[in-house]
Structures are given as structure tokens and as C-alpha cells.
Structure 1
Amino acid sequence: MRIVSHPVLCNYYVTYRCNATCSFCDIWERPSPYVTLENARQNLRDLKKLGVRVVDFTGGEPLLHRQLPELLQEAKKLGLITTVTTNGLLYPKYAERLRGLVDMLHFSLDSPVAAEHDQSRGVRCFDKVMESIKLARQLGERPDILFTVFERNVSQIRQMRDEICLPNDLVLILNPVFDYNSVETGSLSNHALNELSWWGGQKNVYLNDAFVQLRLDGGNHIDKPVCKAGSTTLVISPENKLVLPCYHLGLKDFAIDGQLYDLYRSSEVQQLVALEGRLPACEGCVINCYMQPSFAVEVNKYWWKALPSTLKYNWVKGTWKQLF
């Protein structure tokens, strides 16, 4: 049963450029401009009109966009929930300007061991994440640690929580890795998935347990799709285009030209939206970016699996007040 019929999230790619070269990501390989403040103002108004509640200013590395604070201010003026995930390299430089503008600030960390994290990211940034945590807390911010979980680092969850998150009163977000396009990261074994599920119930740890269930079920199936990417999530590219049905598949894009509201509701776009989760490339997909909002709009077993962790996180962060 569908309970929300409008899009709830926008993945707003402010640039594809990045100052890291992560082995499990290919976004940084793409040439890219930066979004303009003028286009963003128009688009944010239309996103609000379409019913979107959360805007994820993403990349690439979003802090490479020098007007990111202004972009966040525009979103906050409209009452939108904002989220930013950063590798921490530039956060100390912009922390003061970002203060109070990011509802969900995530620092990416792939290992509690500096050398391992830096190798994963292709650049030395572990120390910058530690510096960013300290600075953010001094400014009264409440960042999270986003831990991308591979088979190789499941065993480090305890160390990550006990040595980094608990002493700093941070939420550890467990982000199960996924394959896409030509990027192969390796699947998670059932043993690893069960361990993730156990950790999701522990203090200061967040895991959407529906991610685990979906993987155990073999991912999205095109004959009965779980994915609602096209109808729940708007993807806007740095070129100011609407990308459908999702960024990772990128079947088609449309120039927005200041008409996002009308464009999204057009018959051509809605025909693509109707194919969400049903295209051949959608078989077996488990991409978290689209599954999390998909789980939130339709009552099924994944909705029930996701509910406890969603309530837990939003209660801890205080963002539950903005969801109603």
C-alpha cells in the first residue's frame, strides 16, 4: 500500500569533482561544472512545491563548491531538511560558514585505522576527519560517522564505535557497500549481514535493517520492484539537468531551464518514472541512495524493517520534528 505519492528526497549533485579517489566510487572520474546559485534557488522552490522534504547536497565532494553555505541557506529558508556528506578535507576551512546549516552532517570514515582509511580514499584524510569531528563539536554541531561497510572491515565496527563514536557522542551510520556500473566492491556474506543487523540495535549505531533484508532477498526484482527511485527521489546534476530514473543508471536527462516543477510532472518524465525498478539493469539492485526513500513510502515488509531504525535515528538527531 502506497502511503506517500510525491517525491520526498532530492539528491542534488553540486559537482562531480572530488579531492579524493575512492576505490569504490567512479563519480570523481567525471568532468563537471558547479551548480549555480541562481539555478539552485529556482529548483529548491520547485522541490518544495513537489513535496520534497530532504535535500542531500552531494557530489563528488560537496565542499569543493565555494557557495555551498549559500545553497544550504536557501534550502533552510524553505524549511527543507539538509544533509551533507564530506571526506573532511575541507571542513575545517568552512566549518564556521556551515554552522547551523546542515541538519545531518556526515563525515565519511572507512576504517578506525588511519593508514587503511587513507588507502581506501586514495588521499591522506583520516587526520582531517579527526580534526573535523573536534571542530564540529566545538561549534555545537552533531555530526555522524558514515562507515561504508565491506566484508573486509565488518570486524572493525566495534573499534569504530568504541574508540571514535562513543567518546565523541557520535552516531555511527553503517552503510552497506553496493556494486554499480563497472564499480565492483564485493558482496557481503550472510554472516556479515547478520552481524550488521545485530550492530544496528546497539547504542550510537544506526543501520536501516531493510538494507539487510533486501540483500538477503537478492535485491530488487523487476517483476515485483521494491525500488521507487523515480517517484521518491529527484536527481539533479551539476549541469542543471533532471536525471532519470536515478543517477547510477542515468538512462536519460532533461534540461531543467527553471521549470523543474512542470518538467517533473510532464508526461515524458512520468513515463520514465513508471519504469522505476522495472528496467533490466534494476534486477538485483541494492543501492542505498534510492532504497531508503523507497522503503519510506509504501507499507510492506521493508517499511516495517526500516521503521525502528528510522525512528531511532530521527529521535536521536531531533529531525523527527521536521518530518511532520
Structure 2
Amino acid sequence: MRLVSHPVLCNYYITYRCNATCSFCDIWERPSPYVTLENMRDNLRDLKRLGVRVIDFTGGEPLLHRQLDDLLREAKNLGLITTITTNGLLYPKYAERLHGLVDMLHFSLDSPIAEEHDKSRGVKCFDKVMESIAIARRLGERPDILFTVFEHNVHQIKQLHEEICLPNDLVLILNPVFEYNDVETGGGFSEKTLQEMTRWGKQKNVYLNDAFIQLRRDGGNHVEDPVCLAGSTTLVISPENKLVLPCYHLGLKDFPIEGQLYNLYRSDEVQKLVALEGRLPACEGCAINCYMQPSFAVEMNRYWWKALPSTLKYNRIKGTWKQLF
């Protein structure tokens, strides 16, 4: 049963540029402009009209955008929930400017061991993440640690939780790695690792959407009975100010927005692509978290029930549930 019929999330790629070269990501390889404040204002207005509640200012590395604080302020002024994930390299420089503008601030950290984290990111940034945590806490921010889980680092959850998250009262978000395009992510998860992630998801200050685990056990999305609702739940906007469909990672077609996002999204051409969500050949086996999470939230099925306890837990800890109503 569909509970919400309108899009709820915008993945707003404000630039594809990045100051890291993560081994499990290819976005940093793409040339890219930066979004303009003028385009952002028009699009935010239409996103709110379409029913979107959450704006993920993403990239690339979003803090490379020198007007990021202005972009966030525009979103906050419209009552939208803002979220950013950063590698921490630039946060100490811009923390004061971003103060109070990010509802869900995530610092990426893939290992509690500096050398291992820096190797996975292709740049020395572990110490910057530690510095960023200290600065954010001093400012009264409540950042999370986003830990991308692989088969080879699941054993490090305990150390990361005990040595970094609990002492700093941070939520540890477990983000199971996903495959896409030709990016090498190290293969799938063993049942033992899936069970270990589920166990950790029940611990204090740990968030894991357990529907991610169920989806992987089920072999991902299946085109004959799709769980993915990316096209109808999530709008993807590129740095070139284009609407990308059906999702960023598949990116079959993009449409110039030209100040008409509301009408463009509701147009027949776009809605025909939206209707194919989860049913395209490339959608078979997909388990991309950033599109599955909103998909789980709008339709009452077994994934909705799997996701519900962890969703309530996170929003209770962060206090963001109040902004959803």
C-alpha cells in the first residue's frame, strides 16, 4: 500500500568535484561546474511545491562549494531538512559559517585506524575528521559518523564505536557498501557479516536500516516486482542544473530545468520515465542505499516494517522527527 505519492527527497549534486579519490566511488573522476544560487532558489521553491521535505546537498565534496552556507540557508528558510556528508577536509575551515544550517551532518570514516582510512580515501583526512568532530561538538552540532561497511572492515565496528563514537556521543551510521556501474567495491556480503551488522544496529547510538540487510538477502531489487521507487520518491539535480532520471547512478536521461522544475517533473515525458522505476534492465539486483531508503519509507510492505524501528530510533536520537510533520 502506497502511503506517500509525492517525492520526499532531493539528492542535489552541487558539484561532482572532490578533494579525495575514494576507491569505491567514481564521482570525483567527472568534470563539473558548481550550482548557482539563482538556480538553487528557483529549484528549492519548486521542490517544496512538489512535497520534498529533505535536501541532501551532495557531491563530490559539498564543502568545495564556496556558497554552501547560502545554499543551506535558502533551504532552511523554506523549512526544509538539510543533510550533508563530508570527508572533513574543509569542515574546520567552514564550520562557523555552516553552524546551525545542517540538520544531519555526517562525517565519513571508514576505519578507526588512520592509515587504513586515509588509504581508502586516497588522501590524508583521518586527522581532519577527528578535528572536525571536536569543532562540531564545541559549536553544539550533533554530527554522525558514516561508516561504509565492507566485508573486510566489519570487524572494526567495535573499535570505531567504542573509541570514537561513544566518547563523543556520536551516532554511528552503518552504510553497507553497494555496487554500481564498474566501480570495484569488493563483492557482496557473507551471511555472517549481514548478521554482524544487524547485531550492531541494535546497540546504543548505532543506526542501521535493517531493510538494507533484508534487501541484500533477497538479491536486491527485482524488475518483475520492484522495491525501488527512486523516480517517484527522489529528485536528482545535477551541477549543470538538469533533472536526472531515473537516478544518478543509472542516469539514462537528463532534462534542462530552466526554472521550471515543478512543471518539468509533472510533464508526460518525465512521468513516463518515473513509471519505469525499478523495472529497467539495469535495475535488476540494485541495492543502492540512497534510493532504497526513501523507497522503504513511502510504501507499506515488509521492507517498510523492517526499516521502521531503526528509522524511529534515529529520529528519536536526533530529534528530527519533529520536522517531518
Same fold (TM over 0.5): yes
- Provide Cα deviations, 1:124-174, integer angstroms capped at 9, x if missing partner: 000000000000000000000000000000000000000000000000000
- 1:190 Cα deviation from its structure 2 partner: 1.1
Match of 1:100, SS?
coil
Q: Distance in 1 between matches of 2:103 and 2:79?
A: 11
Q: Distance in 2 between matches of 1:258 and 1:75?
A: 16
- 1:184 Cα deviation from its structure 2 partner: 2.2
Q: Distance in 2 between matches of 1:30 and 1:277?
A: 25
- 1:273 Cα deviation from its structure 2 partner: 0.1
Partner of 1:20: 20
**TM-score for both structures, normalised by structure 1:** 1.00
Instruction: Tell me whether 1:161 sits opposite 2:161 in the alignment.
Output: yes
Identity of aligned residues (%): 84
Return 5+ residue gaps in structure 2 as ranges.
none
The residue correspondences of 1:117-266 to structure 2 (distance < 5 A) are: 117-185=117-185, 186-266=187-267
Partner of 1:273: 274
Q: Distance in 1 between matches of 2:130 and 2:227?
A: 37
Partner of 2:99: 99
**Aligned-pair RMSD on alpha carbons?**
0.3
Aligned residue type for 1:88: G
Q: Distance in 1 between matches of 2:39 and 2:308?
A: 35
Q: Distance in 2 between matches of 1:155 and 1:272?
A: 41
Q: Distance in 2 between matches of 1:323 and 1:158?
A: 32
Q: Distance in 2 between matches of 1:190 and 1:259?
A: 47
Match of 1:102, SS?
coil
Aligned residue type for 2:62: P
Aligned residue type for 1:21: T
Moved more, 268-277 or 179-188: 179-188
Q: Distance in 1 between matches of 2:155 and 2:119?
A: 18
Q: Distance in 2 between matches of 1:316 and 1:41?
A: 31
The list of structure 1 runs, each at least 4 consecutive aligned residues, that deviate by more than 3 angstroms after superposition, is none
Q: Distance in 2 between matches of 1:107 and 1:236?
A: 22
Partner of 1:293: 294
- Provide Cα deviations, 1:253-288, integer angstroms capped at 9, x if missing partner: 000000000000000000000000000000000000
Q: Is the 8 A contact 2:95 2:136 kept in 1?
A: yes
Instruction: Tell me whether 1:69 sits opposite 2:69 in the alignment.
Output: yes
Instruction: Tell me whether 1:87 sits opposite 2:87 in the alignment.
Output: yes
Partner of 1:11: 11
Q: Is the 8 A contact 2:198 2:213 kept in 1?
A: yes
Q: Distance in 2 between matches of 1:247 and 1:60?
A: 13
Partner of 2:306: 305
Aligned residue type for 1:35: V
Match of 2:25, SS?
coil
Aligned residue type for 1:43: N
Instruction: Tell me whether 1:54 sits opposite 2:54 in the alignment.
Output: yes
Moved more, 246-255 or 179-188: 179-188
Q: Is the 8 A contact 2:54 2:80 kept in 1?
A: yes
Q: Distance in 1 between matches of 2:101 and 2:67?
A: 13
Match of 2:183, SS?
coil
Q: Distance in 1 between matches of 2:266 and 2:213?
A: 33
Match of 2:254, SS?
strand
Instruction: Tell me whether 1:319 sits opposite 2:320 in the alignment.
Output: yes
**TM-score for both structures, normalised by structure 2:** 0.99
- Provide Cα deviations, 1:46-103, integer angstroms capped at 9, x if missing partner: 0000000000000000000000000000000000000000000000000000000000
Q: Distance in 2 between matches of 1:93 and 1:69?
A: 12
